[in-house]
Structure 1
Amino acid sequence: MATIIHLPLIVSITIAILALSLGGRISRYLNVLHTWGVPNVVTGGLIVAVICSALHTLTGITINFDLSARDILLLYFFTCIGLNIRLTDVTSGGRPLYHLLLLTTGLIILQNLVAYAIVSAFSLPPALSVLLGSMALTGGHGTAIAWSPFIDAYFGIDNALEVGIAVATLGLITGSLLGGPIAHRLMTRFRLKTNHPKPPIVGLPEDMGTDGKNDINHFDLLRTIAIIHIAILLGYGMDGVLKAVNITMPLFVSALIMAMAIANAIPRLFPAVIMPAKTPALALISDLSLELFLALSLISMQLWQLSGTGITILLLFTTHVVLVVLYILVCVFPLMGKDYDAAVIAAGFTGIGLGSTATAFTNMSATTSIHGSSPKAFILLSIVAALFLDIANSAFIAFLMR
């Protein structure tokens, strides 16, 4: 008889923190994980997910984690990103930003074409190509969960949600494991090093604070948290206005936009106000919220659901992995400049192509914490991921459903 154990929020977050700590300890013992930039959260989170899956398989007990904190963690993270973005960064993005927009669009198109080709080759219902394309890969769990009911209602695919979640889970795991090694390989092959010795926007150096420099006190944290909360509250207000005129977008996008507005307006209007842009305190909060978000996502994965994944889905997913890796090596890295920033973007693009936006930033955070800062990579990917990716992907999904 199946038994479901619901863990409250405090227990879920505690286990997520322990998973983070476990991943860090394992990476210290298995130096290859550290060298190749596999995020600690991925190592620890996968171990917890495997333990929970083994428990389910052997005893029938299912552990359900309370994931209600993920939404606020995502809000925190993207608000932090917004506070770091200057309009001059956007306008000066120029050709690299244009290239990254085109590359992201190109990947979405390729993923859907590959899905359609393989589904057609196996004489499966064409509607499956929507589920097995950019929806679950570039979109991740959130997009898969959001669109699956529509696909079920429109095409009559009863297990649309299960298929979407299975593909998104495979993508999250693979994207998390491949991003760091790809960046490490590119850096080693082309002998790339950072030109930014200062602490990164996200992904604090592992020796942060141990040398007595860049220490953070509670005043820094409280001031930064206050500004983050103001931006989030304004984001809620913007979200309400948009919904009133029948425009829907993720809440974290509204928060990011308002954070950008604050970050650019306050220094001009009130020069005496100390803003947290590119400070250790803001980077610390970014790291904490991002890693806890991904830790909760990883430990809650029900891996036993992948046991029913069909050969077609596995073949298609393998094809997608090969496609994304080749696309990064042949297109993304060369077009983004073949420099250190391009290698960090490659790590993030792996997350975008196979996992989620959170996976992308986790990959880049892990890479920069080891090899050094890359403000350009974070700024460019922030703009594309927060202001373009979901809109473009949703537009393609809506087109395919026609």
Structure 2
Amino acid sequence: MVIEVNMIQTVALGVIMFLIGEMIVCRIQWLQKYCIPAPVVGGLIFAIVHALGVQSGVFAFDFNQTLKDFFMIGFFSTIGFMASLRIVKQGGIAIIIMLFVSIVMLIIQNIWGVSMARSFDLSPLIGLSAGSISLMGGIGTAAALAPIMEANGAEGALTIAVASATFGLVMGGLVSGPIARYLIDKNDLHRKAIAGDSRRRNYQKCYANLVIEDDDPETIQTKDLSKGFFLIMIAMGVGSIISLLISKTGIVFPAYVGAILAAAFIRNFADSYRLTLPQREISAIGNVFLSIFLVMTIMSLEIWKIGGMAIPLLVILLGQVILLTLYTIVVVYNVTGRDYDSAVMSAGFYGYAMGATPNAMASMSAVVAKYRRPSPKAYFTIPIVGGFAIDLTMSIIVLGHMNLLIAGIL
């Protein structure tokens, strides 16, 4: 029996599963500890039930996902609204270095994934789906880009990407803290930081005085909510035209790229004329859009299609964990200064390069709490790079890689 679900019912069902997921996350401590999002929990529960129905031949759902792209593009436009050049300039060289090492790791994640997929005679696009889009990109980026992989012949790419992103969230929370502790204890960084405080005070950039405007979605102004919504709609509309022009080049790009560019232009135009945008309200709307988009995507996962790829996927992901660990210790720590702040930033880097920015912030919080020493530099740099700077560059690199694979160049 096939159950037809129209577009309104699909959204309503997604909201219900999100609320169920939120209730479960609130009651299970380890889900909170590893920053597993409520949409993932609720969506996976439904996907498992759906898989049981399909495999038993009793029932199957046919979703109308028309509104999924609306929520996806709306969410990614809110990332564009965070892309303030004024704020990035405050961080100076630290942000540039962290973005550079992130881009290098992004490429390494893709190369490893594609190489291992080919060694198992799988589509290289499957390996790309278990690479940066699901790890450094996170579940939101995985859910947005993996369908493009599927459209180009990588069957099961969406399920692979979401599974990889969920794995990354857990491992990002497990490994990042111990890396920082290893670096700090091995190199006696805590004592050196205390000893060098007076010597550095006169010349080191004071990151504690740099601020990112308060975009905490927990506190919003009702009067600005409609203004934020209207700005998102404008960015989406203008962005659709930009995306249409990009598509005419023949290069495959996700539909949300235009919206990100349009929103970034609006943000920097406002900054240049000292206009204040309702950032908290935009973030709140973005969180709602992301939750609905994710749960709609995960509900429709066809889990039963990836049984034969379980072992290759495990090999790829374990390799990603090892590669990222070595890269963080050998490269990130050394190029960011080889000091206490570098160790804390290393934890943050691993957190978002394997999982998501919330993982990064949680890991850094655990580190500074253990050593009872703050790291304003890490707390300023990591959210900017992991929160939006790497997202702005990821689509270009990943889609460029994908187009080269499709063309047979790589």
| Structures share fold, TM-score greater than 0.5 | yes
Output the TM-score relative to the length of structure 2. 0.72
Query: Contact conserved, 1:93 with 1:380, CA < 8 A, in 2?
Result: no
Please, which moves more after superposition, 88-97 or 296-305? 88-97
Unpaired runs of 5+ in structure 2? 134-141, 191-206, 370-375
Cα distance change of structure 1 residues 138 and 385 upon mapping to structure 2, 3 Å threshold: same
Residue matched to 2:277: 275
What is aligned with 2:270?
A: 266
Q: Which residue does 2:132 correspond to in 1?
A: 138
Hey, what's the Cα distance between the residues in 1 that align with 2:19 and 2:329? Answer: 32
**1:303-314 equivalent positions in 2, closer than 5 A:** 303-309=303-309, 311-314=311-314
Question: SS state of the match for residue 60, structure 2?
Answer: strand
Per-residue deviation, 1:222: 0.6
2:316 counterpart of 1:316: yes
Say whether 1:174 aligns with 2:170: no
* 3-state SS of 2:301 partner: coil
1:200 CA displacement:
5.8
Cα root mean square deviation, aligned: 3.9
Q: Which moved more, 1:37-46 or 1:110-119?
A: 110-119
Question: Given the alignment of the two structures, is residue 108 of structure 1 paired with residue 112 of structure 2, yes or no?
Answer: no
* Corresponding residue pairs, total: 363
Q: Determine the structure 1 residue equivalent to 2:301.
A: 301
Residue 239 (structure 2) aligns with: 235
Distance 2:362 2:10 in 1: 23
| Residue aligning to 1:97 | 96
Distance 2:3 2:103 in 1: 40
State the partner residue of 1:43.
Answer: 41
CA deviations 1:280-305 (Å, max 9, x no partner) are x2221121112222222222212222
Moved more, 254-263 or 231-240: 231-240
1:31-70 C-alpha deviation (Å, 9 max, x unpaired): 2322333222222222222222222233442223333222
Gapped regions of structure 1 (runs ≥ 5)? 151-159, 209-213, 352-359
**Aligned residue identity for 2:24:** I
Q: Give the letter for the 2:241 counterpart.
A: G
Q: CA deviation at 1:249?
A: 3.5
SS at match of 1:23: helix
> The residue matched to 1:55 in structure 2 has which SS?
helix
Deviations 1:191-226 (A, max 9, x none): 99x979999646x4xxx4xxxxx4x34321111111
Could you tell me how far apart the structure 2 residues matched to 1:119 and 1:238 are? Answer: 35
**Does 1:390 pair with 2:395?**
yes
Deviation at 1:311, TM superposition (A): 3.8
Partner amino acid for 2:393?
Answer: F
- Distance (Å, rounded) in 2 between the aligned partners of 1:87 and 1:199: 13
Pairing of 1:234-253 with structure 2 (within 5 A) = 234-243=238-247, 249-253=253-257
Which residue is 2:261 aligned to?
257
Aligned-partner residue type, residue 105 of structure 1: V
Distance 1:291 1:322, change over 3 A: farther
Cα distance in 2 for partners of 1:331, 1:66 equals 46
Distance 1:90 1:109 in 2: 25
